Amino acid sequence: MFRRFLAIVEKEFIQMVRDRGTLVIMLTIPLLQLVLFAYAINVNVRNMPLVVADQSLDMESRNYLQALVNSGYFKIVEVESSQEQVILAIDAGKASAGVVIPPDFAESVDRGNAQVLALVDGSDLFPSQSAYNAFNIIGAEYAARIVTEDVSSLGTTAKAETLPVLNLNINILYNPDLKDLWFIIPGMIATLLQMQTVALTAAAVVREREQGTMEQLLVTPIRPLELMAAKVVPYFCIAVVNLITILITGVFIFHVPFQGNLALFAGVTFLFIFSGLGLGLMVSAISENQRQTNQLVMLIQMLALVLGGFVFPRYTMPVFIQWVGDLFPMTYFIPISRGIITKGIGLVPLYKNVLALGIYFVVVMLLATRSFRRRLE
């Protein structure tokens, strides 16, 4: 019995070694995932992009903004002149938070009743919580520093009557109660649709090859691009049905408000679905067998989940990790999903991501077609 067992083991090892492509994938994927995830996963959110409207433009307001930057939690990426422009910048995804400093800030500091408005993007979980906590901590430290400086210069008794206070008004936009499902559902729509679309079409070409039906397709007058497009259509219909199911469940069962334009969301989501189906076809076209396909699909799903911005904000990742994340359509669709569902914004602030999805779909279909044509030759 032991000899029979060893014979089977030897046979499996021989088959595994002969399939060099699958062996390389199985040996390299864990190391690749470890390296990428080690750089990408960071629950301590730092350098959050901050948009500022400093209407005071005095030494005190500059000191407060410098305190925000020196803390390491914020990085000023844009300067505006009004609260409305700050909100527009947050709507467009240019920043995770905003600060509006009123014109009389310096005088208010001297009187002990300074006011600052902090705006936080409530559509993303970790940045919103980190920004809220950071604003409170830095505001308290700033007020304590002013108290210390004034007490030292004027004396404890003289200043005890009017201790300066920084009244920080923090307004969490889009999700004021920080409800978890309001964060999760828009991102889950992107995640589930990509997982399904890639998995549905990844086995399409490989299945034709393994079942021996590829030769029948070769004698037909159909062109490679036509074949790729034809394989997409049935799975697109399935993905649309699932989209409707997920959306209805999120809105009516989990009570996640849909703030934006439904027609716009549907149109952009269709483009995202096509992009995911195209990515699955490309995986199928370059794979030698079903095992390679499964390994590549697993790699794509894991990398997209971590690097696409669903859980961890992308601006905390190194640049080369962000480039890897750009290889997945989910990276472009998550800001669109959160922007339309949670923020209720239109096409103009999202046009870059929508354009990127359109280009992505064209490129991935051309690459899949080219890979398929090379196999035919």
For residue 33, the model assigns a pLDDT of 56
DSSP string for residues in 108-154: HHHHT-EEEEEEEETTSHHHHHHHHHHHHHHHHHHHHHHHHHHHHHH
**Residue 134 in tokens:** 């950071």
- Model pTM greater than 0.85? no
In sequence order, the 6+-apart residues with CB closer than 8 A to the CB of 184 are 125
- What is the spatial distance between Cα 200 and Cα 233, in angstroms, rounded to a whole number? 11
- Residue 116 sits at φ, ψ, to 5 deg, of -140, 135
Low-confidence ranges of the chain (pLDDT < 50): 156-162
For residue 15, the model assigns a pLDDT of 64
For residue 233, the model assigns a pLDDT of 81
Domain 48-173: CATH architecture, name and number where available: 3-Layer(aba) Sandwich (3.40)
For residue 207, the model assigns a pLDDT of 72
338 neighbors 188 (Cβ within 8 angstroms): no
Element housing 171 (H / E): strand 166-173
How far CA 8 is from CA of 5, 12, 23, 290, 291, in Å, comes to: 5, 6, 18, 21, 19
Domain ranges of the chain: 48-173, 180-376
For residue 336, the model assigns a pLDDT of 94
C-alpha closest to that of 245 among 210, 295, 196, 296: 196
**Torsion angle of the four alpha carbons 222, 225, 228, 230, in this order, in degrees rounded to the nearest 10:** -60
For residue 159, the model assigns a pLDDT of 45
How far CA 125 is from CA of 69, 185, 238, in Å, comes to: 21, 12, 30
For residue 42, the model assigns a pLDDT of 62
- What is the spatial distance between Cα 278 and Cα 304, in angstroms, rounded to a whole number? 15
For residue 37, the model assigns a pLDDT of 56
For residue 5, the model assigns a pLDDT of 56
